[in-house]
Every structure is written in structure tokens, then in C-alpha cells.
Amino acid sequence: MAKNNKGKDDGSSAIPTSRAGRFARMARMAGGVAGGMLAEGSRQLRAGKRPSTRDMLLTPGNARRVAEQLATMRGAAMKVGQILSMDAGELLPRELADILARLRDDARYMPVAQLQAVMREAYGDDWETLFYDFDTRPLAAASIGQVHRTISPDGREIVLKVQYPGVADSIDSDVDNIAGLLRLSGLLPQGFDIQPLLDDAKCQLKDEADYLKEAEFLQAFGDLLRDDERFLLPEVLPELTRHNVLAMTYVAGSPIDSIIDLPQAERDRVMTALIELMLLELFELRMVQTDPNFANYQYRRGTGEIVLLDFGATRRFKAGFANNYKKLARGAIAGDRAKVAAAAERLGFSMGEADSEYRELVLEVLMLVLEPLCTDEDYDFARSSMARDLSALAEEVRGYRDIWRAPPIDAVYFHRKVAGMYLLATRLKARVNVHMLVQRWLA
């Protein structure tokens, strides 16, 4: 961690850019975890207990070691942790899910010297002449890059999303190293084939690391919502955008969850707009921004506009997936569990044998997730027991690990977005008639 001129931690840390350097970080982390296990085993033996591998591994100290190292490395190592914490949290041991969950919002930013090297690579040695009042302290830092405020050559207030060095080139090795660590831990559920998710994560992360592609996604969403007064998006500056730096106009706003102090009607309006946008993305655009991080949404109190940020995790979906999801929704609304099961199987879910307890359990999970669609009235997310009930059902799922199979990849990413929207609606104590919204595409 870098120190400022008073010797205090300034919140930055150099990012290892070479594969060897990043592997060394992983090895150091593994060594620290092993040492922590030995220490915990000795402590338990002295206390007269017979320690299990699980108890020795899942200690607060080891949790801290894993989270801190992955947060320092950023890039794919951190992103895989984020993906697993949201997408497989109900299937992983709770302690491991908690370790990975710490990575959602915990990222260090680059020291100034490393930042300047990236800027020189993108714009040349005289890059500072292009921008006025460039702020070296980022507005935000995440797993792939960090955001800086500055003034463009034509005088506009803009932001530059600057990618961490070495991140794009280390995606394959980072993902493989994380996979190895998880397998060696012995904590992955038996029968949990993580490889398809990791292989797809490599492709998704390579797309996220291509800022020219993200610029295309941002432009597409901007075109789609140009006439929708509820939403406001930054505009891409193509002449200043590079493969590792995305230039956009600066759009100010307050954190989306700060509207909790606004009247119920306004909170309902905002959440209704966001859920309707999610449905529009899947059923019309077939291109979904799959990262539900609250930081990707802001609110402008003067106008009531919802600011949409960060389209790096945008994912395209095939027409077949969207159409089968419509069938899933129709079946749930009709209360027809046979139709729900048929649609789920077409989507790629493993439903087990007909009339089996496992099949009924999976159906129960799906019906619970689709519950907000099923009645033509405002769904009160804050009063709903959905999260608690899903957690209880997840405990039952753990009893079927011998027949459980990973859900289809597209469903994993879309449900990540759905879960994020439900969580935000709960945080805002919003009430939304989801049934009415979805009818537009089911009629």
C-alpha cells in the first residue's frame, strides 16, 4: 500500500502486472492460508478438540488473507470472487461465500506512477496536454479499472475509466489460479462442476476488458433510451476512447439507495422504471447489463432522473432464451407447475426425475423467484419473505448435491440481475406491480 507524505495509507496499492507477479501473489496467499490452518489446528488441539479441515480453513484470519490479496490483485481474480459470491452463494458453504462477498466493493486504486504509465500508453508521452485539471485521485475503483474526473480539450467535464495494467492479459491465468485454489480448498460442493462457469467468465471478462466494446454497449443503450425522460446516460467520446481508457461525459448523481428518505410514491416510481428496463433489456433488446452493483445506478434529485453507469458486464442473449423465459413467466402466472418445469428444462435447468422430491424443490425455488409476477397488484418487496424462504430452500438443495447440476450460464447471469433488482427494491422498501409490467411482453 502506498503512503502519502505524512506516512499514512493513501488507499492505493501497486497492481502486479506480470503473470509471474500475479502467480506469486496467489502462491503467497495460499501459503498464508496454509499457515493459518496450521495455527488454528494447533490451537484446537491444545483446547482438546479434533480439528476438521473445514474449521481450520474457514477462520477470520484466512478470510481476511484471501479477500485482501484478491482485492489487491484486482482484475479477473477479484471479479471471479464477485461472480461466485453472487451466483453460487446459495450453493457454497456460507463461510466461503462470506469471504468472496467481501470483494464486491473492496478495491484499491493505482499509485500515481502506475496510473501515469497507463495514460502514456493510451495517449502518448504528452497525454497531460490533452486534459485540463486531471484528478489523479479516482472517483471510484472497481475490479477492472478506476474512474477519473477531468476536462476534455473542448472544455466539457468528462470522466476517464482507466483500466488497470496487466488485467486483460492475465484473465486466463487468474481464473485458472482461482479455480485451482477453490478445488484444493475442498470446499466446493461434491458434484459442483465449476468449470463451465469459469470458462464463460473468461469470455465475459475479456469483453469487459475491451473498453471499445463497452463504448458500443453504452452507445446502444443511449440510443434505446434517448427519448425516455426517466433515464440519463453518459455520452461516449469516441475520439478520446482507447482499448484501455473509456472517455465519457460526466453525469452527477446521488447513490441510488439514498432515495430511501423520499416519499413512497417516488421510490416506487424509480424501482418500477428499473424493473421495466430489465424486462426491456431481455425481451426486446436481448442485451442485458448483468452487473447489479448499486454503484451502477444514481439519482438526480433536481430532476428525478435515474443515471445509468457501467455497461462493461453487458451480455447478449439469444431469442430462444428470451422466448423460453416468457413461457416460464406465463406458466408461473397461470400457476401451472408442469409448464414451468417444461420451460425450465428448455432453458437448460436440471429438473431431476418426474414427480421426484428434487424436481418439486427446484420448482418451489423457481415459483418463489417468479412470485412478484404472479398477482396483478403492487408487490411489497420489503414485507416479502422471499429472501428468507429462498435461503431455507437453499439448505434443502444442499442435500441433493449428488444430482444437482450447475444452472445454465445465461440463466446465471440474468438471475444475477434479477437478484440485484430485488435486493435494491427491498432496500428502497419499494412496491411494484411487476405483473402489469411483464404483460407487455406476454400478451
Q: How far is CA 165 from the centre of its chain?
A: 21
Residue 63, pLDDT > 80, answer no
Q: Are residues 364 and 328 in the same domain?
A: yes
Q: Are residues 234 and 301 in the same domain?
A: no
What pairs with residue 231 in β-bridges? 306
- CA–CA separation, 77 and 69 (whole Å): 9
Q: Which of 153, 188, 223 is the last residue of a domain?
A: 188
Between 169 and 216, the more confident residue is: 216
The mean-pLDDT minimum among 137-146, 269-278, 433-442 falls in 137-146
Q: How far is CA 152 from the centre of its chain?
A: 30
Q: Are residues 242 and 265 in the same domain?
A: no
Which candidate, 204, 415, 419, 228, places its Cα nearest to that of 311? 204
Q: Are residues 351 and 379 in the same domain?
A: yes
Residue 395 in any domain: the answer is: yes
- CA–CA separation, 285 and 224 (whole Å): 9
Residue count of the chain: 443
Which candidate, 127, 170, 164, 173, places its Cα nearest to that of 146? 164
Characterize 366-383 residue by residue with b for buried, 16 or more Cβ atoms within 10 angstroms of its Cβ, and e for exposed. Answer: bebbbbbbbeeebbebee
Read off the pLDDT band of 38 (50, 70, 90): very low
Q: Are residues 96 and 135 in the same domain?
A: no
- Strand order through the sheet with 245-249: 140-141, 145-151, 157-163, 245-249
Give whichever of 59-63, 202-206, 237-241 has the largest mean pLDDT: 237-241
Between 209 and 66, the more confident residue is: 209
Q: Are residues 234 and 336 in the same domain?
A: no
What's residue 110's pLDDT? Answer: 83
Q: Is 191 left (phi over 0), alpha (psi -120 to 50) or beta?
A: left
Q: How many CB atoms lie within 10 A of CB 2?
A: 17
Mean pLDDT of the chain: 80
What's residue 24's pLDDT? Answer: 54
Q: Are 35 and 64 in contact (CB under 8 A)?
A: no
Between 43 and 163, the more confident residue is: 163
Read off the pLDDT band of 5 (50, 70, 90): very low
Q: Are 162 and 118 in contact (CB under 8 A)?
A: yes
What's residue 9's pLDDT? Answer: 43
- CA–CA separation, 274 and 269 (whole Å): 9
* 360-411 pLDDT per residue, tens: 888 888 999 999 999 999 999 999 988 888 878 877 766 676 666 667 888 8
Amino acid at 182: L
What's residue 97's pLDDT? Answer: 55
Give whichever of 11-20, 160-169, 285-294, 331-340 has the largest mean pLDDT: 331-340
Which candidate, 413, 436, 104, 440, places its Cα nearest to that of 288? 413
Residue 8 in any domain: the answer is: no
Residue 48, pLDDT > 50, answer yes
Residue 201 in any domain: the answer is: no
pTM for this predicted structure: 0.79
Residue 410 annotated as catalytic: no
Q: Are residues 289 and 231 in the same domain?
A: no
Catalytic residue among 87, 174, 291, 410: 291
Q: Are 289 and 296 in contact (CB under 8 A)?
A: yes
Q: Are residues 87 and 46 in the same domain?
A: yes
Q: Are residues 353 and 414 in the same domain?
A: yes
Quote the cell numbers at residue 21: 507477479
* 404-428 pLDDT per residue, tens: 666 788 888 898 899 889 989 999 9
What's residue 31's pLDDT? Answer: 47
Domain count of the fold of the chain? 3
Q: How far is CA 4 from the centre of its chain?
A: 31
Which candidate, 197, 199, 207, 97, places its Cα nearest to that of 413? 197
Q: Are residues 233 and 289 in the same domain?
A: no
* 98-153 pLDDT per residue, tens: 555 555 545 567 889 999 999 999 999 999 999 999 999 998 877 788 999 999 99
Residue 431, pLDDT > 90, answer yes
Q: Is 186 left (phi over 0), alpha (psi -120 to 50) or beta?
A: left
Residue 295 in any domain: the answer is: yes
The mean-pLDDT minimum among 234-238, 266-270, 275-279, 292-296 falls in 292-296
Residue 168 in any domain: the answer is: no
What's residue 294's pLDDT? Answer: 86
Between 425 and 188, the more confident residue is: 425
% of the chain exceeding 90 in pLDDT: 47
262 Cβ neighbours under 8 A, 6+ residues apart: none
Q: Report the relative pairing of strands 287-289 and 231-232 from DSSP bridges.
A: unpaired
* 25-36 pLDDT per residue, tens: 555 554 454 444
What's residue 65's pLDDT? Answer: 57
Domain extent, residue 357, equals 252-443
First to last CA, the chain: 56
Q: Are residues 370 and 290 in the same domain?
A: yes
What's residue 385's pLDDT? Answer: 87
Residue 308 in any domain: the answer is: yes
The mean-pLDDT minimum among 146-160, 179-193, 308-322, 368-382 falls in 179-193
Residue 195 in any domain: the answer is: no
Read off the pLDDT band of 80 (50, 70, 90): low
Q: Are residues 23 and 48 in the same domain?
A: yes
244 Cβ neighbours under 8 A, 6+ residues apart: 118, 121, 122, 145, 162, 163, 168, 211
